[in-house]
Structure 1
Amino acid sequence: MVDIVISVAAKVAECLVDPIARQLGYLFNYRRNYVDLTEQIEMLDHARVRLQQSVEEANRQGDEIFPDVQEWLKGDERIIQKKEDFIEDEKKASKSCFYLKSRYQLSKQAKKQAGDIVLKIQQAHNFGDRVSYRPSPPPLPFISSASFKDYEAFQSRESTFNQIMQALRNENMRMIGVWGMGGVGKTTLVKQVAQQAEENKLFHKVVMALNISQTPNIAEIQGKIARMLGLKFEAEEDRAGRLRQRLKREEKILVILDDIWGKLDLRDIGIPDGDDHKGCKVLLTSREQEVLSEDMRTQKKFHLQHLSEDEAWNLFKKTAGDSVEKPELRPIAVDVAKKCDGLPVAIFTIATALRGKSRVNVWENALEELRGAAPTSIRGVTEGVYSCLELSYNHLKGDEVKSLFLLCALLGDGDISMDRLLQFATCLNLFEGIYLWEKAINRLITLVENLKASSLLLDHEGDGDSSSSLLFDHAFVRMHDVVRDAARSIASKDPHRFVVREAVGSQEAVELREWQRTDECRNCTRISLICRNMDELPQGLVCPKLEFFLLNSSNDDAYLKIPDAFFQDTKQLRILDLSKVSLTPSPSSLGFLSNLQTLRLNQCQIQDITVIGELKKLQVLSLAESYIEQLPNEVAQLSDLRMLDLQNCCWLKVIPRNVISSLSQLEYLSMKGSLRIEWEAEGFNRGERINACLSELKHLSGLRTLEVQVSNPSLFPEDDVLFENLNLIRYSILIGYDWQILNDEYKASRRLSLRGVTSLYMVKCFSKLLKRSQELYLCKLNDTKHVVYELDKEGFVELKYLTLEECPTVQYILHSSTSVEWVPPPNTFCMLEELILTWLDNLEAVCHGPIPMGSFGNLRILRLEYCERLKYVFSLPAQYGRESAFPQLQNLYLCGLPELISFYSTRSSGTQESMTFFSQQILLRKVYFKMATFKRIGSVGL
């Protein structure tokens, strides 16, 4: 009994003593709790800085920040504010009569806040590098091409459109189809359906795969759908399984597969069907009804009919011009329009070809050509459509544009690379009397625009390869599938003899060998061969007249191998393009190609290509994205080489010394993305040097385009002769250890990124490029105060995009009252469209002093972040006018500016007066303020 009493007493004492001790502990441990809170807040600030840097990098890449990360940063700002409130309360408590009570309360508060902060820091560590996600690309412009802009005016399509929308609303409908002749407008219709479905919110997501070829490439279809979902596949993973899992995450999703030619197993692609995901609907288009009903077993299918006669005539008249209403022309024009079979693609092309023609005999001749056109065997294309496209081709002015049109048809399905067209057209002597690449670029752009104006080429829609080109603002064009089929048919006839073949599997490999024995093969001059899942090619290609050979291989398991004697009987070959093949070893018969001018070995496995030294006439060599570790010494023997493309050669380490400097005719050199090249340091003169030095570039007097990425700035020569000797028209040069990838969306052909080029002296090595750059990124520059005065006194008149980051000594971007008498020139930054300034600790103002006339007139985006000393964006003389400095400004982003008072100030008698920054005419589309980071901000005069 006594033991029980003692035990109970002890428990009671414990319950009484512990709380008392804890409460007294708050009082006695006040200083320790305060110090602990301060230390935890400091650690929290370090975690915030690290996290914020990841967030800013994600913002620059256009990624979306996870909501919990955003919430963490907001909570962090609240904690920092609590710290300042705590310090203020502590000051008040020390003066209070109730000091002990206040001290107890503050200590208890500090203890609790320190515990909360520990949890907050742990959350930040848990984020790691996962602070953002890549958003899905914006929806495709469903009616983007000029050829189909009048689709909505076609009343005959309204009923079909409404029926399709009704079927999509039916929960029991999982797969529906649209069929009709090639060129009738199926693709345009389903784009309209997709757009309407999104606007009506019938689905949470709509994805499309356009232009599926007769022999569908499953990987390409998966890639197109994945891009629209923001999904990235890893190497060697189950793509179908991953895509199916991703699609099933969408409660309601519409998948559109356009232009299918036969049975397509949706499970192989990764598209859920049946009861696998009831919220997934599939919309298919095809030229043939049987494909939908028998092969794909659609639940419902809709026939897209030709335009009515009135609609066809109205569209024809609108395209050809009102002159067709003239009494002498109208009867003939009506007959011509009827020959178009009511198909929009034919109407546009033929009406465009005859637009502006007012002579009766021209129209009569066109009608006779249409009536006399030979029948076509193109699957799903009527004779009338083919005859219209052939007539449009015949009406093209000049052999150059006709040859380019046929060349486009040879380059596979989907998007057509402008860079590739340039290489082929130049080496085929397509441009008469033009030998310099710069002139060839201009001629190519002109001819492509002519083909677009004739509705024979279309703008790139963005659903294919989106990589940029330094040579062209628009890197890709495309060709309507019906136009492409007609062009290939035209090209297959004399005098062209162009052949496009697709071979799939071992059986067709046998057929390919048999085809080689035919006269068609022996007499053809150009072959485009697409091989899928083939183990081997014929031992030899017997085509004595062949000038152009394109082989695109796509095997699931291994690279296609080229037999050693394959090119032995193709000695006239001028262009050879091999993609995704194995050259381990390279066929010795390559040495027979003495007339070869273009050699493209992209995405290939390459072990030994020393035979390349025998190709003395070679002008273009591309090894882009290939597995190659060392460039052979024999490349130095290619004395006529104009273009060398080593983009994204991720395994390339060795470029032997004196190879680059030997290529005296080189006009284009790209090493973009080839980050492992082991450049030799300058001044290594002991005869032991193996790799090339960057100084070899200065021997290339004809170089006009250069793309290079170098990790170590010290590899550049100490003088500024390197770039002073070069007359570059286009360049993308990235220097520094941590890669700041320049934005490919910018339309900039002269781009310079210097990260870790810390001194002004080193920057001067790039002074010639600075003056001409359109995009400039400077990071960690540490001895420059006044950017314009010290870097380019001419005022960066060509610069469009400027980013300065972590440059601790920069005080002003534009400063007109330096110690040296100097007046900023007119039109300083006159072309600037985007200005980003971040982590500039000593930045006092963007502009200090009078703004030169014509400056900042094109600035659209202004971004200021983490500039601790910035008080005013502009600090101007009192006599300076109050008119707006940035008349085009649309987006304003301000963050981490603790000393910001106002945007605009004038100085009078040593005092500062804040004033309204923008005029009433300014209309900002987006203003982003992070107000918690402003400590002193007053009235923001917008």
Structure 2
Amino acid sequence: FILVSSDLWSCNCQCPTLPSPPCLTLTNIASQRGRASPRSSMACINLNLNVDVNSCLSGLKATLRLGGPKSGIEKLEKEMTRLRSKRDDIKNQINEAEREGKIPTNEVSQWLREAEILEGKVADIEQDFQSMSEYSPVLLSFSCQFKLVALNLLQAATAFCYISIVHCSVFVRVASVANCFNLTGGTSSNRTDAFAANIQEDELENAATDQTQRAGDDVPIRESSNCCSIIQRAAKKLDEANELMSRAGALDPIATVGPLKPTVMLPISHRPPVGIESYVEDIVGYIDGGEGNIIGIYGMGGVGKTTVLKSIQHHYLLKHTIFDPVIWVVASKDCQLKRLQMDIAKSLGLKTLQESDDEQTCSDKLFSYLKNKKCLLFLDDIWEHLDLQLLGMAHSATERGQQQQKHPRKVVVLTTRSETVCAQMKAEKKIKVRCLDSEQAWQLFEQNSDGDVLSSDAGIKFIAEELAKECAGLPLALVTVARAMSGKRSWEAWKEALHRIRDKHEWTTICLPEDSLVMYKAFKLSYDSLENDSIRECLLCCALWPEDYEIDAFHQLIKCWIGCGIINEFNVINEAFAKGYSHLEALVAASLLEKCDSHYEVKMHDVIRDMALLMVSGLKGNKRKWIVKAGIGLSHLPRQEEWQEAERASFMRNKITSLQESGASTFPKLSMLILLGNGRLETIPPSLFASMPHLTYLDLSDCHITELPMEISSLTELQYLNLSSNPITRLPIEFGCLSKLEYLLLRDTNLKIVPNGTI
């Protein structure tokens, strides 16, 4: 036990032997202060002490190394300044690496966490030192290092300790030190009384009252903030700072390429989607309840199936401990199984799958990776039955008992337009997403309109409500029409829009089902509302890419617009790209294009794409005639009679290995041919070019072409030629006959020889 002079506490026990459990017992006599003089007041504190002598001796070492507390704090702060500079340099390198799609290594992340923790602890030490400077000026005046050394030696020898109690902490420390060492002169009792006199009477009363209320409770003993403690803590943190600095030099690389953790991103002005809450709650409850493993969501195009699926995905990304991994892939019409397998592997960051692998090999590799994982697969927009086992998913819908317990649970949530597909996929729960009711439809229309316009004119609001009714509760149509009318402030403009969408004469010539007709009306209204013909042509060009394809705006889309002559008035190429980005923003604002997670890519909703293709190829009386068979797994071109009248043809992203010979002028109207992304295409037949006399745009990028035939000279109208990403080594001398060629792209080729006069 330890006896400490105090003006607050007195002992009413006989101080027997220390109790076995650690305890601290204080008896308050604030109420008896009138009967006890300050000098006779004593506190008996019963403690179980377990003091590590080596720990005490470390204080001696720290004192000899750092000197006084102020000196130690200064040395620590100097090292921390160096550490912060190094930390900032590493963060700058990480920021630069993230722009290249890289992520920090685990070692670097751990280093930054330790540096952050250390900085917080150093701040605590500095705060304690500042508090000690304010409340313990007596201790800070001890300039003689010998006295600190002696104090540490005494701590090691006698397990001396300090007890801190509320405002009396300073008093107890000074009194204790004064009683043990004659450091400031005078008798201990005089020094004790003098210091106690500086403590305000009301503060002592408050402290005593507080302890009275907590009588019988254990009083926590916090880490003391005396000189020796400050020096010891500063020395320890200085060693940690030095260790972190030494490790910093070995942090190489700072960042690496790796799979990004999925994140939930919401727009700044995000509002919950309208009318889907009940679907999401129903499906999440079904999944969490463990009732089944395959859930099918079906409904007409544009009704909000993908929106429902994304909301469920966001729910489980936020609760990532339930399923790991959570995978999202889009199937689309005419989707190939091999492409889905590669997309899943990409989502997982799995690098074992190769393009040369067959479907079964890919399936085995996926299953091997996923077999011990609780996996949730979101499969958007499927059009036919898919074998889930070939996607690496254990088909546990009918596997019960021992089999199911053996393997972690795997769940598939799919969307489709057909209830039949749900049945073919053996979905245990099928949910139909229906069109919105009138109240929900108006709510969604309002969210996507200019609120100030609707509220400023009752006539406009009435017409807006009628336009919303014409959309028949179809969410995509509602959003498309509302965005098309954004910025329209005159009653006449709204009246004209309503008249056009209700014009039966215009729509009776179009043989479409009722649901498709509603969407086509909305699309046509939005299309006609675009600012000019250039933007309209840009929109239609987007339909040349495969369904649900994420289009690279810089390397593909805007270059296509320039090559087609849609963007043609500019002095330097940068002006052309600036105008292209302006058109892109206009289409995104109209909800006719969607931005992808990458800011450099956009995509077209499959229903909007269907409407665009309908406009350029599927309606009677069209002036345009396009054929688009992109990303559907073609191994050869369609028969000539299927596209010999076409003006534009897109066969991109297929598996075409060869092109058939063609007679002269077989395709007399063809002005654009896109074959990009057919990686197995190695040769071009000489007669092909002679069959396309009016070709102005030719894209052969990302194929495997090694050379061009000399018959390319017959393309006298050619203005745009893209040969990028081909192992081509030379250009034929006949290349010089392409007198109208304006754009030649040769990025990532093996071109070494360019004959004189070729370009």
> For residue 476 of structure 1, what is the aligned residue in structure 2?
601
Contact 2:381–2:416 (Cα < 8 Å) also in 1: yes
Q: Which residue of 2 aligns with 1:490?
A: 615
Equivalent residue for 1:246?
369
2:721 maps to what in 1? 599
1:440-499 Cα distance to aligned partner (Å, 9 max, x none): 11111111111111111221224xxxxxxxxxxx42222222112211222225333222
Give the TM-score, by structure 2 length.
0.60
Q: Are the structure 2 counterparts of residues 352 and 56 from structure 1 closer, same or farther at C-alpha, using a change threshold of 3 Å?
A: closer
Counterpart among 447, 452, 466 of residue 335 in structure 1: 466
Counterpart in the other structure of 1:877? none
**Counterparts of 1:342 and 1:206 in 2: how far apart (Å)?**
35
| Matched residue type, 1:476 | E
Shift of 1:192: 0.9
528, 539, 551: which one pairs with 2:675? 551
Q: In structure 2, what is the equivalent of residue 374 of structure 1?
A: 507
Query: Residue 62 of structure 1 aligns with which residue?
Result: 103
* Aligned residues of 2:332 and 2:380 also touching (Cα < 8 A): no
**Structure 2 partner of 1:812:** none
- Residue 738 of structure 2 corresponds to 615
2:521 alignment partner, one of 387, 390, 401: 387
Counterpart residue number, 1:740? none
Counterpart secondary structure, 1:616? coil
C-alpha spacing 1:290/1:550, structure 2 compared with 1 (3 Å):
same
Tell me if structure 1 keeps the 8 A contact 2:316–2:323: no
Measured at CA, do residues 598 and 631 of structure 1 come closer, stay the same or move farther in structure 2, by a change above 3 Å?
farther
| Offset, 1:561 | 4.6
1:423 and 1:598 in contact (8 A); partners too: no
Work out whether residues 264 and 318 of structure 2, in 8 Å CA contact, stay in contact via their aligned partners in 1.
no
Partner of 1:355: 486
Is 1:460 matched with 2:596? Answer: yes
Q: How does 1:28-427 map to 2 (within 5 A)?
A: 61-65=102-106, 135-141=258-264, 143=266, 149-152=270-273, 154=274, 156-201=275-320, 203-233=322-352, 235=354, 236=356, 238-250=361-373, 252-274=374-396, 277-294=407-424, 296-322=425-451, 323-324=453-454, 326-372=457-503, 374=507, 382-413=516-547, 414-419=549-554, 420-427=556-563
Aligned with 1:501 (options 629, 644, 648): 629
Checking the alignment, whether the CA contact within 8 Å between 2:730 and 2:754 is kept in structure 1 is no
Provide closer, same or farther for how the CA distance between residues 368 and 635 of structure 1 changes in structure 2, counting only shifts above 3 A.
farther
**1:625 CA displacement:** 4.7
Alignment match, 1:10: none
The separation in 1 between residues aligned to 2:512 and 2:682, in whole angstroms, is 30
1-structure distance, mates of 2:111, 2:491: 70
Query: In 2, Cα distance between the equivalents of 1:427 and 1:300?
Result: 49
Does structure 1 conserve the Cα–Cα contact (< 8 Å) formed by 2:631 and 2:654?
yes
Q: Give the conservation status (yes or no) of the 8 Å contact 2:471–2:477.
A: yes
Aligned to 1:445: 581
Could you tell me whether the CA contact under 8 Å between 1:288 and 1:380 is conserved in 2? no
2: CA distance between counterparts of 1:380 and 1:273?
Answer: 37
Q: 1:379 to 1:269 in 2, by over 3 A?
A: farther
Q: Is the 8 A contact 1:312 1:347 kept in 2?
A: yes
How far the C-alpha of 1:391 sits from its partner, in A, is 0.9
For residues 763-801 of structure 1, the C-alpha deviation after alignment (integer angstroms, 9 at most, x for no partner) is xxxxxxxxxxxxxxxxxxxxxxxxxxxxxxxxxxxxxxx
Q: Return closer, same or farther for 1:68/1:339 CA change in 2, 3 Å cut-off.
A: closer
Q: Distance in 1 between matches of 2:614 and 2:545?
A: 14
The alpha carbon displacement at 1:547 in A equals: 1.6
User: How far apart are the structure 2 equivalents of 1:314 and 1:580?
Assistant: 46
* AA matched with 2:471: C
Structure with the higher helix share, 1 or 2? 2
Identical aligned pairs, as a percentage? 27
Displacement of 1:620 in angstroms is 2.8
The whole-number CA distance in structure 2 between the counterparts of 1:140 and 1:538 is 47
Q: CA deviation at 1:586?
A: 2.9
Q: Distance in 2 between matches of 1:607 and 1:197?
A: 50
Query: SS of the residue aligned with 1:410?
Result: coil
Aligned in 2, Cα 1:398/1:58: closer, same or farther, shift over 3 Å?
closer
User: Greater strand share, 1 or 2?
Assistant: 1
- Separation in 2, partners of 1:242, 1:608: 40
Work out whether residues 349 and 456 of structure 1, in 8 Å CA contact, stay in contact via their aligned partners in 2: yes
CA shift for structure 1 position 603: 4.1
- 1:637 aligns with 758
TM-aligned CA distance change 1:63 to 1:597, over 3 Å: same
Say if 1:348 and 1:588 are closer, same or farther in 2 by CA, change over 3 A.
same
Q: Is the 8 A contact 1:585 1:607 kept in 2?
A: yes
What is the CA distance between 1:202 and its match in structure 2? Answer: 6.1
SS at match of 2:459: coil
What is the CA distance between 1:517 and its match in structure 2? Answer: 1.8
Alpha-carbon offset, residue 582 of structure 1: 3.9
Q: How far apart are 1:378 and its partner, in Å?
A: 7.8
- Measure the CA separation in 1 of the matches of 2:533 and 2:473: 30
Distance 1:423 1:198, change over 3 A: closer
CA distance in 1, matches of 2:712, 2:111: 58
Q: Is 1:581 paired with 2:739?
A: no
The answer (yes or no) to whether the contact 2:379–2:415 under 8 Å persists in 1 is yes
Whether the 8 Å contact between 2:286 and 2:292 is mirrored in structure 1 is: yes
Deviating above 6 A after TM superposition, structure 1's stretches of 4 or more consecutive aligned residues are: 54-59, 66-71, 127-133, 375-380
Shift of 1:267: 3.6
CA gap 1:151/1:386 in 2 versus in 1, 3 angstroms: farther
Query: In the alignment, is the contact (CA less than 8 A) between 2:335 and 2:632 conserved in 1?
Result: no
Instruction: Specify every segment of 5 or more residues in structure 2 that has no aligned partner in the other structure, as ranges.
Output: 1-89, 116-246
Aligned-pair CA distance for 1:588: 3.9
CA 1:609–1:417: 2 relative to 1, 3 Å: same
1:615-694 mapped onto 2 (5 Å cutoff): 615-625=738-748, 628=750, 630-634=751-755, 637-638=758-759
C-alpha distance 343-383 of structure 1, shift in aligned 2 (>3 A): same
The alpha carbon displacement at 1:505 in A equals 6.7
Report the RMSD for the aligned CA atoms in angstroms: 3.8
Match of 1:539 in 2: 661
- 1:525 maps to which of 643, 647, 651: 647
Counterpart of 1:565 in 2: which secondary structure?
helix
CA distance, structure 1, for counterparts of residue 743 and residue 272 of structure 2:
43
CA-to-partner distance for each residue in 1:547-606, whole Å, 9 max, x for gaps? 211124557xx4465333122121221211124534345344322112222222344453
What TM-score, normalized by structure 1, do the two folds share? Answer: 0.49
Aligned partner letter, 1:482: V
Cα 1:575–1:211, aligned 2, differ >3 Å: closer, same or farther?
farther
Within a 5 Å distance, the mapping from 1:650-799 to structure 2 comes to none
Q: Is the 8 A contact 2:483 2:591 kept in 1?
A: yes
Is contact 2:382–2:415 with CA below 8 Å preserved after alignment? yes
How far apart, in 1, do the equivalents of 2:346 and 2:511 lie?
A: 35
Which of the two has higher C-alpha Rg? 2
Per the alignment, do residues 361 and 68 of structure 1 end up closer, same or farther by CA in structure 2, a change over 3 Å counting? closer
